[in-house]
Structure 1
Amino acid sequence: MIDLTSHLSKEAKRREPSKLKAVLKHRTPQMAYLAGGLPLPKYFAWDSISVSTRHAPFEGGIVGEQTQENALDFTVGYGPSEHDIPLGSSLQYGASKGPEQILAFIREHTDLVHRVPYEDYDIITTVGSTHGWDALLRTLCDPGDTILVEQYVFASAVETAKPLGIKMSPIVMDDFGIVPEILEKKLSNWTGALPKLMYLVPTGQNPTGSSLSKERRQRIYEIADEPYYFLQLDPYSEESAGAKTFKNETDEHFLKSLVPSFLSMDTEGIVIRLDSFSKVLAPGIAKTIRSEYQTPSGFTNAIVYGTLSRWGQSGYLDWLKALRHEYSFKRDMTIKACNKFLPKSANVVVPIAGMFFTIRFDCTRHKEFKTKYSEDPLQLENALFESAIKHDSCLVPGSWFEMVDIDGKHSTEIFFRGTYAATDVQTLELGIERFAKAVNEIWV
């Protein structure tokens, strides 16, 4: 294992353990504990939390109806329970790492899915990936440091790094993610202090929808010496596109179908994985927080753990399999609509993971690119965007995510990001049809 102490930021090196938290070790049943400002649980405002969900294996898919047979209803109170974090603990000030019960479940899940090549790894719960990203940057980077990012980056990741004074250097991407050869060349020709870290979304990349292959991941890890992982979709084919019938598969088959993660390849302890329940359970569980925070919401902890502990590891995998089937179906409907309505000037790469698809255009093939648009891809992109809005179809312009290198040049390949996760199939098809009309209006 590599000692990464030298990689810590000045802020991280200045931090010291909390003395008030350290004294908690003396809080035993026989101790007259007057040290901590922890209110008695009987003063809490809530008596219980009731949760209603469904039992695994989720027959009928993720959108199946709840029945008497598959209903899973439970109440979390203050008494001890095999499957719950009592409210006296979950609503109390807690350890910064998170509740031991949730940490144990996540560690078991990590061992099951990623098979980390070493044992002494650690897990910390946060209120979401953006919170984890912010903490990671503060821990490893100082103002003026450079990090490597993909050519197109989710806006929140950029907006988190910029105020910290961190510079971002983009790595060129193709349809399948960053290109290892370009990464290697970039680092070989690097001058000055090397980048502190590399930030990647290797599976179902946001915004492009690309996914790195196992071979690329291995090469990138060698050179260097992920929130959509479980939204890897079923293989796409025109023959099977739109098959709505949900067929359960074994846990073993499901896990083998996933591209190995960087974490599973990490033998040096240099991979930090930011995972999230937001995309697979519900986004709101990451939002029940204070403006300044140390741990995830106690309500969130109680609800999530109560559900997962009753599902078990196999039941949670059943949920993920059902979710993958639903998104695979909607992905198929998206590609079918794109093939039906979009003109030949548009190119759509079939996503194999995640929630997003992109519709791409080569600006140099527009006959008025040099004249009307002055060879400026942003002008053409904006014309397409405004035309789409006029036709009541809204997709996100790719330039909103683009990280421009020091030469200041934008790519002449533009794209628009859409999602098949946020709407029903009818609206999805209508949006693509309207977008196609907007393209035909501009791309004459």
Structure 2
Amino acid sequence: MSPPAPLDIDMRGDTDTSSLPVPNPLTVNGVPAWREKMAQMPTGVAAACSSDMFKSPACYTKPKAKRFEHRFSIEAKSRKASTLKNAARFLKNPGIISLGGGLPSPEYFPFEHLDIKVPTPPGFSSEATSQSGTVLRAGKHDIREGSSLYDLEIALNYGQATGAAQLLRFVTEHTELIHSPPYADWQCTLTAGSTYAWDTCLRLLTERGDFILMEEYTFASAAETAFPLGLKALAVPIDEQGLIPDAMDDLLTNWDEQARGARKPFVLYTIPTGQNPTGATQSAERRRAVYKVAQKHDIIIVEDEPYYFLQMQPYVGKDAPSPPPPASHDEFIKSLVPSFLSLDVDGRVVRLESFSKVVAPGTRVGWIVASEQVVERFVRNFETSSQNPSGVSQMVLYKLLDEHWGHSGYLDWLINLRMEYTHRRDALLHSCEKYLPREIAHWAPPSAGMFHWIEIDWHKHPGIASGKTRDAIEEEIFLSAVDHQVLLSRGSWFKADSSVVEEKMFFRATYAAASSEKIDEAISRFAECLRDQFKL
């Protein structure tokens, strides 16, 4: 990889970069000057692009990632560049008349313009948006008319697997502002959501019969994506901070390939922030310890982070004054727990990013960040599968994030989300403290995400005396809660390895979707269910 042409940078093979001149860290307000130094935005149909066009000059003073071809699957190694996608690069030639690709004529796109009404900072509420929001218009011919860098003529046609350059630029800049990966040749590519990105990870990095490392309780859909591919989960114990690095090290150090019937696993799937389902968040120290284990055993870390920006204010209890919101963008960014990507000196992290929890899940747009060689394999896969995320979704996100909010407004939105989720989390915890019987219900306040993990001391259930099993008691409590008109998720639904005997019992509650009043009523009903079940 080399810097884009407009950058006059002396690239040297130094591994110790402490003596190299590094520009001052770029800030949100410095992005316009940053953009002036970058290559010109490609605006044609199916325009080829990469993150190298949009990263800051400072990025190229860093060392390159290690090589990980030895971790690629047979499928990944066999994929070639798409012949037809590759031919699209000639469309940029001035004066060329294309009779080559099967690109429909935009005159037959039955959309002349799209209007969307969005919040104008700081008025982020639905009421404020309704009264004083801004209407953004995307027209079919905005590029040729000089009113935008992106229009429906481009967005509604076929595109490259990397996604549109216009949105790729934004997420590349955002990645560097928030995470500043410590190696030079990192890349981003847009995806059709994180679930599809995870499915692609498995295809690129594993073979049938392999084990993958997962938290002992994990996102059920992530496990259900893996199992039909012939993969098995190696469940790593967790605590209130999530993944336990010593336990992971012990499992890998004592791996018996003959007894297990499979090679030692080298892919870790983890949700480090606001973990689903437990709500646990790995501290900076915990992440560094996990990363060292990954280095020791040559592990690829797949960092699934849909809840990263749902890190909340500290929980201080019902009667204490709530901490004020971050006073600045810089303070907000510094308050975030360092990501695995920000610690990744090797290029062994594949970060799955998503707009699902911070904008809207129906956009089906996310992105991955990884080393150039890994992203290149993703792109080869996407070219003949998902092709590219929805053009309508990319257009809507571009208009909102880049043209309207910019990086500054997006951070204002994320700070607003922090405070909103803090209020919802606090409402749930207050209700738990008010209603749930402490003699059988235990919990730790979540510091991020959307979920509250409630442990139930099932050994005190009266059904024990009549020989009821743990699983039977869990089902009885679950169905009793439904009878009390409240739905929670059973902890057993999230077990990574169903063959492991569960010693504890949990139920997952979310505070994302309901109002404070409904949360209070729901917890009251669950408490009544527990009192009935345990004869309290």
- TM-score between the two structures when normalised by the length of structure 1: 0.93
Please tell me whether residue 26 in structure 1 is matched to residue 90 in structure 2: yes
Instruction: Quote the residue 2:485 is aligned against.
Output: 392
Distance across 2 between alignment mates of 1:335 and 1:83? 46
The two structures, once aligned, show a CA RMSD in angstroms of 2.0
SS at match of 1:65: helix
**Aligned 8 A contact 2:463 2:473 in 1:** no
Letter in 2 for 1:9: S
Counterpart of 2:137 (choices 43, 60, 75) is 75
**Aligned 8 A contact 2:142 2:148 in 1:** no
Which residues of structure 2 form unaligned runs of 5+?
1-64, 258-262, 296-304, 367-384
Count of residue correspondences:
434
Query: Superposition pairs for residues 185-224 of structure 1, below 5 Å?
Result: 185-192=250-257, 193-224=263-294
Letter in 2 for 1:197: V
SS at match of 1:296: coil
SS at match of 1:413: coil
Instruction: Quote the residue 1:65 is aligned against.
Output: 128
1:425 CA drift (Å): 1.0
Please tell me whether residue 12 in structure 1 is matched to residue 105 in structure 2: no
Please tell me whether residue 118 in structure 1 is matched to residue 215 in structure 2: no
**Aligned 8 A contact 1:62 1:323 in 2:** no
4+ aligned runs moved over 4 Å, structure 1 = 61-64, 81-84, 239-243, 245-248
SS at match of 2:181: coil
Distance across 2 between alignment mates of 1:43 and 1:281? 30
**Aligned 8 A contact 2:365 2:394 in 1:** no
Please tell me whether residue 297 in structure 1 is matched to residue 390 in structure 2: yes
Distance across 1 between alignment mates of 2:77 and 2:408? 41
Please tell me whether residue 439 in structure 1 is matched to residue 533 in structure 2: no
1:368 CA drift (Å): 4.4
Letter in 2 for 1:390: D
Distance across 2 between alignment mates of 1:64 and 1:300? 24
Distance across 2 between alignment mates of 1:242 and 1:40? 60
Counterpart of 1:281 (choices 354, 359, 364) is 359
Letter in 2 for 1:20: L
Which residues of structure 1 form unaligned runs of 5+?
none
**Aligned 8 A contact 1:242 1:330 in 2:** no
Distance across 1 between alignment mates of 2:121 and 2:317? 30
Aligned-pair identity in percent equals 40
**Aligned 8 A contact 2:311 2:448 in 1:** yes
Change (3 A) 1:83 1:154: farther
1:241 CA drift (Å): 6.2
Please tell me whether residue 333 in structure 1 is matched to residue 397 in structure 2: no
Letter in 2 for 1:277: F
Change (3 A) 1:427 1:373: farther
Instruction: Quote the residue 1:235 is aligned against.
Output: 314
Deviates more, 1:251-260 or 1:73-82: 73-82
Counterpart of 1:347 (choices 426, 436, 442) is 442
Deviates more, 1:16-25 or 1:320-329: 16-25
Change (3 A) 1:352 1:247: closer
Please tell me whether residue 313 in structure 1 is matched to residue 407 in structure 2: yes
Change (3 A) 1:426 1:242: farther
1:164 CA drift (Å): 0.9
SS at match of 1:181: helix
1:287 CA drift (Å): 8.1
Query: Superposition pairs for residues 25-44 of structure 1, below 5 Å?
Result: 25-27=89-91, 28-44=93-109
Query: Superposition pairs for residues 258-269 of structure 1, below 5 Å?
Result: 258-269=336-347
What do residues 87-143 of structure 1 show as CA deviations (whole Å, max 9, x unaligned)?
111111000010111111111111111111012101111111101001111111111
Instruction: Quote the residue 1:171 is aligned against.
Output: 236
Query: Superposition pairs for residues 355-370 of structure 1, below 5 Å?
Result: 355-366=450-461, 368-369=463-464
Please tell me whether residue 138 in structure 1 is matched to residue 203 in structure 2: yes
Letter in 2 for 1:384: I
- TM-score between the two structures when normalised by the length of structure 2: 0.78
What do residues 209-262 of structure 1 show as CA deviations (whole Å, max 9, x unaligned)?
11111111000000001210000011000156685x985631011111111000
